[in-house]
Amino acid sequence: MEASSSGNRKATRIERVAYHEAGHCVADWVHRHNIASVTICPHGDVLGRATVSRLPPRLRSYDACEVDGRTTRLFEGWIDAFYAGPATDAAIIGRRPSSNSMAHDQHCARALAEGILGIDNRSPIDAFLAYRWECARCFVADLVNWQFIDALAKELLACRTMTGKQVRSFLRSCLRPLDTVTDERSQG
């Protein structure tokens, strides 16, 4: 499937879920988060889920954590990974997905933003999250990242559930054709 700027490609529900979860996984992989599993098998009111084995401290506990430059970059990576799923949806349907379909991702991103900014004022948090949303959209729009998302979504549609090890192995195998193209360009 190609990303649509006009939104004229009608994706099935299961395709959208596969691409959404693949977006999360590719962003997690790029940010070196430890992917535990991904599934597009519905469970209750959840249509799919990408899980990681270690959540950032702000999501495990609402205790204050020390925020320095390194912590901020880590939290930004987590926020980008939470937004990569809905950003992939947006690329497919040509508009930002409904707030219902990204409620969990938005909730987690907001909790992390509050941890970074250390304030309860909505205005700067909303501005920061709007910026991170654009970062996630740019990540998804990048041709190389989209190739990874597309390949992983197709694999998910075929097997429905993957372990973290399978996801990492699959994404590493996708690097080989990209390395070949890079080698050919440098030799040509």
pLDDT in tens, 28-71: 999 999 999 999 999 888 899 999 987 665 554 444 566 678 87
What pLDDT shows up at residue 89?
A: 92
pLDDT digits (tens, 9 = 90+) for 8-30: 457 899 999 999 999 999 999 99
The answer to whether 38 and 25 are in contact (CB under 8 A) is yes
Structure confidence at residue 150 as a pLDDT band (50, 70, 90): very high
- Closest by CA to 113, choosing from 46, 182, 64, 58, is 58
Distance, first Cα to last Cα, the chain:
30
Higher model confidence: residue 7 or residue 141?
A: 141
Does residue 182 register a pLDDT over 60? no
Structural class in CATH, domain 13-54+65-175: mainly alpha
Question: Mean pLDDT, to the nearest integer, of 176-188?
Answer: 56
DSSP the chain: ----SS--S---HHHHHHHHHHHHHHHHHHTT--EEEEE-S-BTTBS-EEEESS--HHHH--S-----HHHHHHHHHHHHHHHHHHHHHHHHHSSPPPTTTTHHHHHHHHHHHHHHH----HHHHHHHHHHHHHHHHHHHHSHHHHHHHHHHHHHHHHHSEEEHHHHHHHHHHHHHHHHHHHHHHHH-
Structure confidence at residue 131 as a pLDDT band (50, 70, 90): very high
What pLDDT shows up at residue 142?
A: 96
What pLDDT shows up at residue 61?
A: 46
Structure confidence at residue 184 as a pLDDT band (50, 70, 90): low
Structure confidence at residue 158 as a pLDDT band (50, 70, 90): very high
Domain ranges in the chain are 13-54+65-175
- What is the chain's mean pLDDT, rounded? 85
Does residue 90 register a pLDDT over 50? yes
- Closest by CA to 110, choosing from 150, 65, 62, is 62
pTM: 0.85
Higher model confidence: residue 100 or residue 172?
A: 172
